[in-house]
Structure 1
Amino acid sequence: MKYAKRDAKDYAREHMRGIWAAALNPFHEDGSFNEDGLRHNIRHWIDDLEIAGLFIAGKQGEFFSMSLEERKRNIEIAVEECDGKAATIMSASDQNFDTVLELARHAQDCGADYVVVHAPMLHFVTDPDETVYNYYKLLCDRLDIGIAMWSHPDSGYLMSPELCARVAELPNIVAIKYSVPREMYVRLTHMVGDKIQVSTASEDDWLDNIEELGWRLYLCSSPPYQLQTKTDRRMHDYTQLAFAGKFDVARKIRDSLDPVREAIRGTKPGGKPQAHGKYWQELLGQVGGPVRAPLLQLTEEEKARTRAAFDACGLKH
């Protein structure tokens, strides 16, 4: 690790910045993990797009369909390919607490920068706040690596800003990916100041959050490598302009991506975000491949509609 546990917050405050992307995991047609394909994608994301950090083995990466050994290998590959050129945050999310610890310790031993752990699904609980606080406290007690919280509707509830602020006091909690309505993450941002990094996956709000909330971290989803190519890096460009305080110019560049956003939104079938994202990657020259069960594949009609929208959206490729 690049920092001691007691220094995790300070280290993240200095280094956890810029655009971070959540990696989709490529699989072969037989369903096996396409390690070479992932390496190819990571090289493009870092070398061509200058993405600052990668979120590995999360929901986009279909961690729920992967074996423990595959998830460990996923972590190893990302550390090897990033090799100091980009940062890493490894998903150790799982319903089994021992699995979370095993994955997080593996990430720690491999040289990952941080781990992210989503709030657990709860059953028959009458005191959810105390349960979730204790969950993250146990993780902090047993791990040295910096930990990001992750609250999203799939857990069956959302962590309140007050609960998040309480968890943020723990020594190696460094960030939160807060997939909630904007008013909730605005309130949390004001509550925690610069104690931890607050972020959300909405690229639509990224520029506004830089300007209005002083955010410096996009954590994270697939737009950084779906909206951009080697010769068309408008998300990177408008972000750098916004960081420099040039918001009027940044906004014009951001808004110029609306046809690309609409092409993605207008062709993405409900319930098939990973399958659609992988096919869009293929259209961009990245490695995609099929999704794993129980996810549904795109139909040929859905692919044709997506391909037509891609060709017309104005993304230079």
Structure 2
Amino acid sequence: MKYSRHEAKDYAREHMQGIWAAALNPFNADLSLNEVGLRSNIRHWIDDLAIQGLFIAGKQGEFFSMSLEERKRNFEIAVDECGSKAGTIMSVSDQNFNTVLELAKHAENCGADYIVVHAPVLSFVQDKGEVLYQYFKALCDQLNIGIAMWSHPDSGYLMQPEECARIAELPNIVAIKYSVPREMYVRLSHMVGDKIHVSTASEDEWLDNIEELNWKLYLCSSPPYQLQTRNDRRMHDYTQLAFQGKFDEARTLRDSLNPVREAIASSRPADKPQAFGKYWQELLGQVGGPVRHPMLNLTETEKATIREAFEGCGLKL
């Protein structure tokens, strides 16, 4: 560990900044984890795209289809490849508390920078706030690593800003990935923005949140390596302009990516986000591959539609 439990907040405020991307996991044709392909992708994301941190084994990475040992191996590969060049945040999410704890301790032991834990599915619960507080407190009491909360609709509810603010007082809570309507994350930012990072996965709102909320962290989804190439780093560049306070220049550059965003939105099949992302990666020269059940792979017709949209989007390869 690079910090103690009580240093976690300060460490994250200083080091957990910039664009952090959620990694898709490449699988081989036999659906085994493609370790060589994953390493190649990570090197490209860090060395060519200047991505500053990686979110590993999350929903984009199909963690729900992976064994415990595969998830641990996923952590180890990411730490090894990122080294001192980029940060790592490991998704240790699971409904079973002991599984969360086992993965979290492995993340600590293998050198990860942070972990992220999604809000659990809660059945027959009325006072969710107290349940959630005690859940995250139990993790904080047993771990030293910095913890990011993660609230999203898949849990069946959204953590309320007041609930998040209470949890944010715990010593090693350092961030939240808050997949909620903007009004909710704006309110939380005003409540705890001096204590923890508040972020959301929407690239469309990233520039506005830098300007209006003084956000320093994009945490995180796949746009950082879907909207960019070695020769076309407009997301990185508009982010740097925004951090320098050059918002008009940043907005012009951000808006120039609209044809790419539209190509993605118009060609992405419903209910196939990971399969689409992996195929788009392949068109960009990255390593993709199939998805595992329960996710669905693309049809040849869907691939043809995506290729046509990609070829006209204007990204410089």
Q: TM-score range by the shorter chain?
A: over 0.9
- Report the equivalent of 2:19: 19
Alpha-carbon distance in structure 2 between the residues aligned to 1:99 and 1:70:
13
Q: Post-superposition shift, 1:125?
A: 1.1
Alpha-carbon distance in structure 2 between the residues aligned to 1:270 and 1:123:
28
- Report the equivalent of 1:239: 239
Alpha-carbon distance in structure 1 between the residues aligned to 2:180 and 2:263:
24
Alpha-carbon distance in structure 2 between the residues aligned to 1:5 and 1:127:
28
| Cα deviation 1:153-204 (Å, max 9, x = unaligned) | 0000000000000000000000000000000000000001310000000000
TM-score, structure 1 normalization: 1.00
- Report the equivalent of 1:112: 112
Alpha-carbon distance in structure 2 between the residues aligned to 1:246 and 1:126:
47
- Report the equivalent of 1:279: 279
What SS class does the counterpart of residue 125 from structure 1 fall into?
coil
Alpha-carbon distance in structure 2 between the residues aligned to 1:132 and 1:156:
14
Asked whether 1:144 is paired with 2:136, we answer: no
RMSD between aligned residues? 0.4
Q: Post-superposition shift, 1:311?
A: 0.2
- Report the equivalent of 1:228: 228
Moved more, 187-196 or 66-75: 187-196
Alpha-carbon distance in structure 1 between the residues aligned to 2:300 and 2:91:
32
What SS class does the counterpart of residue 184 from structure 1 fall into?
helix
Aligned pairs for 1:167-206 (under 5 A) are 167-206=167-206
Alpha-carbon distance in structure 2 between the residues aligned to 1:126 and 1:212:
35
Which amino acid counterpart does residue 185 of structure 1 have in structure 2? Y
Alpha-carbon distance in structure 1 between the residues aligned to 2:277 and 2:32:
18
Q: Post-superposition shift, 1:146?
A: 0.2
- Report the equivalent of 1:66: 66
Aligned pairs for 1:1-317 (under 5 A) are 1-317=1-317
Alpha-carbon distance in structure 2 between the residues aligned to 1:35 and 1:122:
35
What SS class does the counterpart of residue 220 from structure 2 fall into?
strand
Which amino acid counterpart does residue 117 of structure 2 have in structure 1? V
Question: After the TM superposition, which parts of structure 1 deviate over 6 Å for at least 4 consecutive aligned residues?
Answer: none
Which amino acid counterpart does residue 148 of structure 1 have in structure 2? A
Q: Post-superposition shift, 1:289?
A: 0.1
Alpha-carbon distance in structure 2 between the residues aligned to 1:50 and 1:59:
23
Alpha-carbon distance in structure 2 between the residues aligned to 1:306 and 1:186:
34
TM-score, structure 2 normalization: 1.00
Identity %: 79
Alpha-carbon distance in structure 1 between the residues aligned to 2:162 and 2:295:
35
Alpha-carbon distance in structure 2 between the residues aligned to 1:121 and 1:265:
29
Alpha-carbon distance in structure 1 between the residues aligned to 2:295 and 2:239:
33
| Cα deviation 1:20-55 (Å, max 9, x = unaligned) | 000000000111110000000000000000000000
Which amino acid counterpart does residue 225 of structure 1 have in structure 2? Y
What SS class does the counterpart of residue 54 from structure 1 fall into?
strand
Number of residue pairs aligned between Structure 1 and Structure 2: 317
Gaps of 5+ in 2: none
Q: Post-superposition shift, 1:126?
A: 1.8
What SS class does the counterpart of residue 221 from structure 1 fall into?
coil
Which amino acid counterpart does residue 236 of structure 2 have in structure 1? H
